[in-house]
Amino acid sequence: MSGNDSFDFDLITLGAGSGGVAASRRAATLGARVAIVEGSRVGGTCVIRGCVPKKLMMYAAQLGDAINEARGYGWAVEAARFDMAPWAAQKAAETRRLEGVYRQNLAGSGVKVIDGWGRLDGPNTVVVGEQRLTARHVLIATGARPVRDSIEGIGDCATSDEVLDLEALPDEVAVIGAGYIGVEFASILARLGAKVHLFYRDRQPLRGFDEDLRTRAAQSLEAAGVVLHAGQAPQRVQRQDSGFELHMAGGLTHRFPFVLNATGRRPHTEGLGLETVGLTVDKRGAVPVNERFETPAAGIHAIGDVTNRLNLTPAAIAEGRAWAESLFGPTPRTLDLGRVATAVFTLPPLGTIGPTEAQALKDGHALKVFEADFRPMKQTFIGGAERSYMKLLVDADTDRVLAVHMLGADAPEIVQSLAVALTCGATKAQFDRTLAVHPTSAEEFVLMREPTRVLPAAARSGAA
Ligand SMILES: Cc1cc2nc3c(=O)[nH]c(=O)nc-3n(C[C@H](O)[C@H](O)[C@H](O)COP(=O)(O)OP(=O)(O)OC[C@H]3O[C@@H](n4cnc5c(N)ncnc54)[C@H](O)[C@@H]3O)c2cc1C
Ligand SMILES: NC(=O)c1ccc[n+]([C@@H]2O[C@H](COP(=O)([O-])OP(=O)(O)OC[C@H]3O[C@@H](n4cnc5c(N)ncnc54)[C@H](O)[C@@H]3O)[C@@H](O)[C@H]2O)c1
């Protein structure tokens, strides 16, 4: 890429999160002169206040389970108690370490890091504090932030940002919203020892996931001691001297010392100066882009959560790399995010790839549904109640495996591997020809012989 010397940079990226870092490094590797602007901490949501610290908190919770299970395996274990302060100190050190690695990697790729909040100021121009910089291309990769106005008064409650920075575990927690963040933290906080109440509007948590997973996710949350308030969300939240009052429909109130607002996230575009380049956000607050990540404003592009499409770290990274390679590399390429594996890090966790059963039927597939529901060997040995559920959706006409859904120990790891097979277009016959690794839970996926049900396509049968 030959630089245009009338600009300070070929590319200025706004936001050093998963997408911005990936795009900037790839562009620099391809010869572009790149600067990245970060107002908070390099690494962004995933590294500093998302996937990474969340998973570290999940590991802490999982170890609590392991200590209990150890007794059943013959270990003499003293009474164990979780203290959040040492975890918090270690978590802070780990995110600092990772931030350092990210800064080093950016420098190693030749990307200049500019600390400060950036804003657009007309075409090709970014202002950071006193600095006024120009670039041929600007990439908006500013991510998303928790919604703080979904319910009257909820802005005073903690979000996942604050929960991940807690130094002491609250005794009792109300979680409002049962999407990814709501169920992950409900599960993790309960396993760490808090009394958790989960409030959500739908009849099951995790709207959008396969119904069989949703049902079992609800059961396993209950088994972890979470009190489920299905079909109930507060209409107003009121801060009190100590804690919060949740005002429900019908005049009922609940009091909690601690409330987690898990009602969603919104693209982060505040103060970005979009109006100076004639850009307006769509009705979900997202920066609009086409399949090449171009916004309607010339020279301005956007990737990741700020575009509110598939709000996952691997998607932001893949978008960033595809975009950078298309613009600064020899061959433009698009990205197919149609079928992406995802996991919910509850205990036990859930992993999934492909459409839900209802969606596959609606899409016109006749289905063979294969299922296994069992207590894993590790649990049967100690009389544990935890189960594993696995489901394969197979196109009855072509034999192609359309979807894998699992809730149970190691589901994210297992589904990650099976995602490769699905990307390759694997058929059920090929699953059947695969020899098992024994003894594992994952082997069930190659041992399912008889479908539990065979269903005609809803679209073809005319059903809703
Ligand atoms: C609690 C939690 C857990 C999650 N767990 C997972 C998980 O397990 N797996 C998964 O795949 N995804 C997970 N996610 C989602 C994942 O973190 C996001 O999809 C991903 O970080 C999006 O990357 P991004 O680059 O688009 O934005 P971000 O990572 O949010 O980065 C945007 C960066 O831009 C900066 N910024 C914003 N405005 C400006 C500005 N004007 N100037 C300069 N800098 C600016 C921000 O400070 C931020 O650092 C989780 C999210 C949360 C909140
Ligand atoms: N494991 C992972 O990969 C992971 C983990 C966390 C977050 N994420 C990503 O971050 C995104 C944001 O997560 P999230 O959990 O904040 O959002 P979400 O959209 O998944 O869930 C928000 C929940 O809040 C509910 N809600 C919204 N307004 C409400 C109201 N007024 N009253 C009651 N309930 C209300 C919604 O119905 C929904 O259930 C996710 O969609 C996902 O893309 C991924």
Check if 268 is active-site: no
Whether 339 is covered by a domain: the verdict is no
CATH of the domain at 438: 3.30.390.30
353 in Cβ contact with 418 (< 8 Å): yes
CATH of the domain at 222: 3.50.50.60
User: Domain check: are 312 and 212 in the same one?
Assistant: no
pLDDT in tens, 131-151: 999 999 999 999 999 999 999
Counting ligand 1 atoms within 8 A of each CB, the residue from 37, 42, 46 with the most, and so the one to mutate, is 46
Whether 58 is covered by a domain: the verdict is yes
Whether 206 is covered by a domain: the verdict is yes
The total domain count for the chain is: 3
User: Domain check: are 140 and 18 in the same one?
Assistant: yes
How far is it, in rounded angstroms, from Cα 110 to Cα 340? 31
- Say whether pLDDT at 54 is over 80: yes
199 in Cβ contact with 174 (< 8 Å): yes
User: Domain check: are 271 and 138 in the same one?
Assistant: yes
231 in Cβ contact with 201 (< 8 Å): yes
User: Domain check: are 356 and 444 in the same one?
Assistant: yes
Q: Does any ligand 1 atom lie closer than 6 A to the CB of residue 262?
A: no
460 in Cβ contact with 364 (< 8 Å): yes
Whether 232 is covered by a domain: the verdict is yes
Closest ligand 2 atom number to CA of residue 342:
3
Whether 207 is covered by a domain: the verdict is yes
How much distance in Å is there from the Cα of 78 to the middle of ligand 2? 38
How far is it, in rounded angstroms, from Cα 406 to Cα 388? 7
Whether 381 is covered by a domain: the verdict is yes
pLDDT at res. 460: 72
pLDDT in tens, 324-380: 999 999 989 989 998 999 999 999 999 999 999 999 999 999 999 999 999 999 999
User: Domain check: are 108 and 164 in the same one?
Assistant: no
- Say whether pLDDT at 21 is over 90: yes
Closest ligand 2 atom number to CA of residue 206:
39
pLDDT at res. 1: 43
55 among annotated binding-site residues: yes
271 among annotated binding-site residues: no
Whether 1 is covered by a domain: the verdict is no
pLDDT in tens, 75-93: 999 989 999 999 999 999 9
Select from 362, 342, 355, 356 the least CA-distant residue to 416.
342
178 among annotated binding-site residues: yes
Query: Average pLDDT of the chain?
Result: 96
Whether 342 is covered by a domain: the verdict is no
192 in Cβ contact with 169 (< 8 Å): yes
User: Domain check: are 112 and 39 in the same one?
Assistant: yes
Q: Does any ligand 2 atom lie closer than 6 A to the CB of residue 207?
A: yes
Q: Does any ligand 2 atom lie closer than 6 A to the CB of residue 181?
A: yes
User: Domain check: are 78 and 127 in the same one?
Assistant: yes
Q: Does any ligand 2 atom lie closer than 6 A to the CB of residue 412?
A: no
User: Domain check: are 18 and 137 in the same one?
Assistant: yes
User: Domain check: are 114 and 167 in the same one?
Assistant: no
Q: In degrees rounded to 5, what are phi and psi of residue 14?
A: -100, 110
User: Domain check: are 394 and 455 in the same one?
Assistant: yes
Query: What is the residue range of 435's domain?
Result: 348-461
User: Domain check: are 49 and 189 in the same one?
Assistant: no
User: Domain check: are 318 and 430 in the same one?
Assistant: no
- The complex scores an ipTM of 0.98
